[in-house]
Structure 1
Amino acid sequence: MDFFVFMSEQWLLVSLLVVLLYAFALSERYKAGTPASVHEVTRLINSEGGRVLDIRDKSEYSAGHIVDALHIPHGQVAERIAELAKVKDKPLIVADKMGQHAGAVGRLLKRDGFQVRRLQGGMVEWSNQNLPLVKG
Structure 2
Amino acid sequence: MKFLIENWYLVLTALVSGGLLLWTSMRGKMGGVVVAEAVRLVNREKGVLIDVCETEEYAAGHAGGARNVPLSTLTGTELPARQLPSNKALPVVLMCQTGARAQRAAGILQKQGYANAVAVQGGLKAWREASLPIEKSAA
TM-score using structure 1 length: 0.70
Q: Partner of 2:109: helix, strand, or coil?
A: helix
Closer, same or farther: CA 40–85 of 1 in aligned 2, 3 Å: closer
Q: Which has the higher contact order (CA 8 A, sep 6+)?
A: 1
Distance 1:87 1:104 in 2: 21
Q: Partner of 1:102: helix, strand, or coil?
A: helix
Q: Give the letter aligned to residue 51 of structure 1.
A: V
Greater Cα offset, 104-113 or 72-81: 72-81
Question: CA offset at residue 67 of structure 1?
Answer: 2.6
CA contact 1:51–1:87 (8 Å) conserved in 2: no
Question: CA offset at residue 118 of structure 1?
Answer: 0.8
CA contact 2:103–2:118 (8 Å) conserved in 1: no
Greater Cα offset, 110-119 or 59-68: 59-68
Match of 1:121 in 2: 122
Match of 2:79 in 1: 81
TM-score using structure 2 length: 0.69
Aligned pairs for 1:1-136 (under 5 A) are: 26=26, 30=29, 35-79=32-76, 80-83=78-81, 84-114=84-114, 115-136=116-137
CA contact 2:62–2:136 (8 Å) conserved in 1: yes
- Give me the identity figure in percent: 26
Question: Which of the two has greater helix per residue?
Answer: 1
The list of structure 1 runs, each at least 4 consecutive aligned residues, that deviate by more than 6 angstroms after superposition, is none
What number of residue pairs does the alignment pair up? 111
CA contact 2:74–2:80 (8 Å) conserved in 1: no
